Structure 1
């Protein structure tokens, strides 16, 4: 390992797994009501390697990293496809029709 002074430049991303005690639901069913899961600090997530609960400060950072990555993937999937070639020319307004409307040649 290299010596370093101060905090890391980037937050390290840990592999998370669903809590085996509550199965990722953050609560355990008691006799009369649901109780907060003690094993995962009522988050539903533990470290994949050790199965231990993360400290709340680290957990918030890890969940934020995962949420941002998921939002980025959804944004990429939701973008409309950009038309290229003849399709692009057919769909855009070329102002060659009557009253400067689109003329497609059909």
Structure 2
């Protein structure tokens, strides 16, 4: 076995989808007030394709995986934007002005 192929030490990623009954909201509207959705046990998520409900321990782990993935995607979208073109001299300080301020030549 190679170094990265150790079985049993890595949690399986289970694909989740929003519950079809509550549409991922975890509650359904009763006659007078909201009730906890019984199809997804109030989580709003079920296993993709089979619509099985995960145990609370597994659900917490899988939701943590989804949150970490979403945070990585957000960080990638917010990443440093490279300023190009004429606006570069206004956005990045060149410290050539009086007192080390930005000098743009205007």
- Note whether the superposition's TM-score is higher than 0.5: yes
SS in 1 for 2:35: strand
TM-score, normalised with respect to structure 2: 0.73
**What CA deviation, in whole Å up to 9, does each residue of 1:68-91 have, x standing for no partner?**
111111111112313479976x46
What residue in structure 1 maps to residue 51 of structure 2? 51
Post-superposition offset of 1:16: 0.7
CA–CA separation in structure 2 for the residues paired with 1:32 and 1:83: 55
CA–CA separation in structure 1 for the residues paired with 2:99 and 2:33: 71
Post-superposition offset of 1:33: 1.5
Q: Say whether 1:81 aligns with 2:81.
A: yes
Post-superposition offset of 1:95: 4.8
SS in 2 for 1:64: helix
TM-score, normalised with respect to structure 1: 0.73
* Number of equivalenced pairs: 100
SS in 2 for 1:80: coil
Post-superposition offset of 1:39: 1.1
Change (3 A) 1:8 1:98: same
CA–CA separation in structure 1 for the residues paired with 2:86 and 2:32: 66
State the superposition RMSD in angstroms: 2.6
Q: Which runs of 5+ in 2 are unaligned?
A: 1-6
CA–CA separation in structure 2 for the residues paired with 1:32 and 1:98: 69
SS in 2 for 1:28: strand
